[in-house]
Amino acid sequence: MMTPQFLENPVWGLPIVIYPFFSGLVAGSFVVASLSQLFGLKKFEPVVKLAAILSFSMLLVAALAPLVDSLQPSRAIIELYLRDHFPYSALGVFIIVWTLYVILMVFEIYYVFRPTNVQRAGLPGLRGSIAGFLTFGNADLSGDSRKRDKKALAIIAAIGVVLAFIFHGYVGFIFGAIKARALWSDPLMPILFITSALVSGMAFVILAYVIGFSFYSDKGKVDTEVLDGLGKYLLYAIFFDLFLDLIECLFRVRAYSSLDVHSGFARIFGLGGPLAFNYLLLQLMLGLIVPAVLLTRPAVRRSKVLVSIVSALVLIGVYEMRYDTVIGGQLLPKIGQQGLVVFDAPWIGPEGILSAIGLFGAALVALFSLGWLLGWENEPESGSETD
């Protein structure tokens, strides 16, 4: 007589993979937008508007991913805002942080684009009308007014950088605090998520900067000094990310970890494992090591084509990191079945591939809508193109 086999299925699917990916882009893009406002790096001023748009658009769409995964998204407002479950619910804490971040980004967008909106307020058509409304009656462009705007932006950037680390680090904390999953219970998880957020955010800004100012800008100029500077910071972030990955791998060694962690990591991500290709090739090799080697060359950092390819590889690698974390952590069985849990994403349904495509499509719609409405044109007059 055969013993019945109770097969498990991963509880969290593609939307929960996409959520930390989008939220990482939010945090990383905001840090890039704050480089000139908070740290005085004036050469990055051409990407401030673009980075702010990227961060705000990803922030709005990121919240859709958990809703897609939920069984009753229509009850989200009731459950998240009106039910008294703070601070016992991890999601309850998240919704507070997310709401504070939205409010902060509204002020960021207002002050960053206020001079542009004042100049556009007199234009005919929809954009002129919306620009006039977004000035909220403040049309003063005097020197004192601009100084007040810069001071406000510095304060917003200081608060926002801290909030960005909390916003995305808290995602890593949620995974690291789940003791029931051996591959999630890791105190390094929040730091890994924050570091990879910086990596993905910088790569996202570089890719959007090249595409936006090459094809969708009135001036059509890409400043190679900006590319070189962002490429250097991206290289530093990748080095730190690789250092953390090395530490994590050391903690997977049998002498320093439990049998569940050691054997589970080897079975899933080691050679022959179901996620070996994702982890070893896409996440580590193509997503981190190859970009790090290429970015050490100034010619790569200054080339629009090459740095765009490198940034795309980095984004793929960070997405794979989210996939390997969310899905890979659920492939160890919890009910004693033989073998690993199998994850096979369906094409349709809340956790299907089409839903994932829809989330990425919504992100592009939000990005281009805000870009068209607010504009991301380069402010400095100097710039040069290169291939």
Give the model confidence (pLDDT) of 342-372 as tens digits: 777 778 877 778 888 999 999 999 998 888 8
d(CA 361, CA 36): 30
Mean pLDDT of the 52-56 span? 91
d(CA 120, CA 135): 10
Does residue 159 form part of some domain? yes
Give Cα 297 distance to the centre of its chain.
Answer: 26
The boundaries of the domain holding residue 310 are: 14-340+347-372
Does residue 378 form part of some domain? no
- 238 within 8 A of 314, measured Cβ to Cβ: yes
pLDDT number for residue 88: 64
What residues contact 282, with CB distance under 8 A and at least 6 apart?
A: 316, 317, 320
Does residue 294 form part of some domain? yes
Q: What is the largest CA-CA distance in the chain?
A: 86
d(CA 386, CA 375): 23
Under the banding of pLDDT at 50, 70 and 90, the label for residue 85 is low
Q: How far is CA 81 from CA 78, 215, 281, in A?
A: 6, 42, 42
Token pair, residue 78, equals: 């009731």
Does residue 227 form part of some domain? yes
pLDDT number for residue 381: 38
- 82 within 8 A of 146, measured Cβ to Cβ: no
pLDDT number for residue 387: 37
Q: pLDDT of 191-235, one tens digit each? A: 888 899 999 999 999 999 998 888 877 666 788 888 999 999 999
The highest-confidence range among 251-265, 316-330, 367-381, by mean pLDDT, is 316-330
Number of domains present in the structure of the chain: 1
| Residue 380 pLDDT > 50 | no
| Residue 5 pLDDT > 70 | no
The highest-confidence range among 67-76, 105-114, 295-304, by mean pLDDT, is 295-304
- 301 within 8 A of 227, measured Cβ to Cβ: yes
| Residue 138 pLDDT > 90 | no
- 20 within 8 A of 322, measured Cβ to Cβ: yes
Does residue 383 form part of some domain? no
Helices (H), the chain: 14-37, 48-62, 64-69, 76-77, 90-120, 126-134, 143-176, 189-215, 224-251, 259-269, 276, 290-295, 298-301, 304-326, 353-374
| Residue 315 pLDDT > 90 | yes
d(CA 380, CA 359): 34
Does residue 387 form part of some domain? no
pTM score = 0.87
More confident residue, 274 or 293: 293
Q: pLDDT of 15-42, one tens digit each? A: 888 988 998 899 889 888 888 777 777 8
Does residue 4 form part of some domain? no
Coil/strand/helix, residue 366: helix
Look up tokens 């069985």; give the residue. Answer: 333
pLDDT number for residue 86: 61
- 91 within 8 A of 63, measured Cβ to Cβ: no
Amino acid at 230: L
Cβ burial of 2 (10 Å; 0-12, 13-18, 19+) is exposed
d(CA 88, CA 247): 31
Does residue 214 form part of some domain? yes
- What is the average pLDDT score of the chain? 82
Q: How far is CA 58 from CA 6, 101, 111, 215, 376, in A?
A: 39, 12, 19, 21, 16
pLDDT number for residue 83: 67
